Amino acid sequence: MDNQIVKKSRTDKQCAVTGTDAHYQALVASAAAAILVIDESGVIIDANPYTRTLLGYDHRQLVGNNVECLMPPEHEGKHQHYLMQYLTGGEAKVIGTGRRVKARHVDGHLVPVHLAVSEVQIDSRREFIGIMSDLSALTQAQASVKHERNQLKTIINAIANPVFVRELGGRYTMANHACVQAVGVDSVEALADAFAQLLPKGGRETLNALDHQLTMNGEPVHTDVTLNDGRTFKLAKTLIHYLEGEPYAIVTVAYDATPLLNAMKDAERANQAKSDFLSAMSHELRTPLNCVLGYAQLLMNATSPALEATQQQYVAQIHQSGRHLLALINDVLDLAKIEAGKISLNPSWAPLRPMICEAIDSLLPLARRQTVSLRHTLPDTLNGDIYVDATRFKQVLINLISNAIKYNHAGGRVTVSTRQQAETITIAVTDTGIGIEQDKLSALFEPFNRLAAEQTHIEGAGVGLAVTQQLIAQMQGEITVSSEVGKGSCFAVTFPYRGQSLTEIASSSTPFTLTQPHRVLFIEPDVAQQRLMADWFEDWPLLTLTCVHDLSLAAAMAHTTPPSLFMVSHAVLDDTADQVQSRLGERPMIVVNVPDTESMQSHSDSIVTLASPVSGAALGRAMQTLLEDRA
């Protein structure tokens, strides 16, 4: 750069203050801004090297030319006017102030610059120094910020969910279209009043408290709010921070959950109606069916006059079909009860080993009929308690083991094993049966879906696994399935477990040995309990079990064919045990499933009470005592 600029733009005083010519030269030559000197008529006298970098002109292309050559076409011819305006004391547009303008590059395109012009008095002459700083990068950055802001605004307005921003001081600063529409206002300024109208009493305070909590710990907040007009919104609130990290506002994204909640209520009502219908139907079917079964059993056992052989066959057929139908109805009833939330489970710690052994024992006859081997591989050390509802857990085991037997081949195997983890235990029922295709596994627990088993001769209704899964879920357990077609399946259930049993289990292995046949009449309204009992009795060949629902049918049956022993569920006792016993005909009696044996005192030595959950062994010992030891 040329000395001229320095020379012409300084005064002696300035020079004395800021340094030498050499300093100025270096400063002007190395400045990252275009510096031009022009005279009063606008002719360029000098330009520094950066002018070329910024605008592409050679030194000689500029010097001697009017500064107008650097102006955008629309300003051409106006420079003289601006200058004159300034010189005559008029408004200074650039001189002494500085502003954003566009400068013309030698190739014609316009470069955004900041132009600062200062006036220099040299003798009687006035000259002007123009300093142009490149604003291309800044302009580009500003354009891209503007573009992004515009894009963000479009996106936020396109969101169907209401979105709004509220500063920590309480002022609403942004609301998208969906928000103003949902609230019924036409601008963000009207939001505060509209919310005050819509929020129920105390609603504002609750939301303020949540906002405060969010500001304190920064954790996004999720909450529901039901407005005075009945609509329910789900709100997700997040803190917005300045770049430096300070929070300054809260953005809330709302979701109108009203249609979904209404649909859910409708679905729940429909589901409830279905469950009520199923439950009522099942009940209506079960009661007469139990009568049919009860009287069929009476007929089968009738001795005077005894039935002929063919009649015996017919009655046996009625009884078998009735039992099958009853099992089906019971499953449907269970499912309906579970779905209606009407099933109450009482989980407690109970010894695991006896429950598995009893389930296996009860299914040995079925396994024998199907020529399938059924065994367990329980370690001797398995003497802990599992946390389940004992009755329902046995129902689960029986469902899984009976499926493993049913969906098996002649000569196949079913194995029950356990795998103990730190605080849980997994009980696996593994079979060598037909297996299940991978793509059907997901439908396994759907009610009434038999996965094409309905095309086989294997009996079933497709409800067992649905019930099993629901019961497991209600007992906070887990079920997993793995299977391979043609090789077999493994159903594994996991529950809490503690290694050392607190219950005395040694006695449960005490065998009981009956020497004569006996008839037992079981009065129990709960079909699941009836089923369990029937399963146990399958393994006690000398005992015949008849189940009835209520005391009056039991009394009628006892009148015609008196049983050797009554088993009465605590649930049907409408009187003291002694009085019920005398109504039924003074036979030995066992009261089962007593919630607390202490509360159940009897004066008769022919009455035994067993606390819930009843184990097969305890029941066996009680029957042994009442039927043979005492006799």
**Residue 334 contacts ligand ADP per CB under 6 A:** no
Per-residue binder mask for ligand ADP (CB under 6 A), 398-437, x = binder:
-----xx--x-----------------------x-xxxx-
CB of 604: closest distance to ligand ADP in angstroms?
43
Task: Select from 2-10, 73-81, 349-357, 453-461 the region that touches ligand ADP (CB under 6 A).
Answer: 453-461
**CB proximity list for 22: less than 8 A, separation 6 or greater:** none
543: Cα within 13 Å, side-chain hemisphere: 27
Nearer to ligand ADP, 436 or 614 (CB): 436
CB of 429: closest distance to ligand ADP in angstroms?
8
Contact 52, 144 (CB under 8 A): no
Residues in the chain: 631
Task: In whole angstroms, give the CA distance from residue 236 to residue 240.
Answer: 13
DSSP state, residue 626: I
Task: In whole angstroms, give the CA distance from residue 172 to residue 249.
Answer: 9
**CB proximity list for 132: less than 8 A, separation 6 or greater:** 33, 34, 35, 36, 51, 54, 55, 103, 113, 114, 115
Task: In whole angstroms, give the CA distance from residue 592 to residue 609.
Answer: 6
**Residue 358 contacts ligand ADP per CB under 6 A:** no
CB of 488: closest distance to ligand ADP in angstroms?
7
Contact 347, 497 (CB under 8 A): no
Residue 497 CB neighbour total at 10 angstroms: 22
**Residue 451 contacts ligand ADP per CB under 6 A:** yes
Task: In whole angstroms, give the CA distance from residue 294 to residue 319.
Answer: 9
CB of 278: closest distance to ligand ADP in angstroms?
16
Query: Strands 607-611, 385-388: parallel, antiparallel or unpaired by DSSP?
Result: unpaired
**CB proximity list for 124: less than 8 A, separation 6 or greater:** none
CB of 369: closest distance to ligand ADP in angstroms?
16
Work out which of 444, 479, 557, 608 binds ligand ADP, going by CB under 6 A. Answer: 444
Site residues for ligand ADP, 484-503, by CB under 6 A, read 489
Secondary structure of 455-472 as H, E, C letters: HCCCCCCCCHHHHHHHHH
Site residues for ligand ADP, 464-483, by CB under 6 A, read 464-466
Per-residue binder mask for ligand ADP (CB under 6 A), 364-403, x = binder:
---------------------------------------x
CB of 568: closest distance to ligand ADP in angstroms?
31
Position of tokens 């990290």? 245
Name which of 465, 449, 401, 409 is nearest 428 in CA terms. 401
CB of 433: closest distance to ligand ADP in angstroms?
5
CB of 358: closest distance to ligand ADP in angstroms?
20
Work out which of 130, 347, 354, 460 binds ligand ADP, going by CB under 6 A. Answer: 460
- Which residue, judged by CB position, is nearest to ligand ADP in the bound state? 460
Query: Strands 247-256, 413-420: parallel, antiparallel or unpaired by DSSP?
Result: unpaired
Nearer to ligand ADP, 78 or 440 (CB): 440
Task: In whole angstroms, give the CA distance from residue 423 to residue 365.
Answer: 34
Work out which of 461, 534, 571, 572 binds ligand ADP, going by CB under 6 A. Answer: 461
**Residue 463 contacts ligand ADP per CB under 6 A:** yes
Nearer to ligand ADP, 183 or 479 (CB): 479
- Enumerate binding residues for ligand ADP (CB under 6 A): 403-404, 407, 431, 433-436, 444, 450-451, 453, 460-466, 489
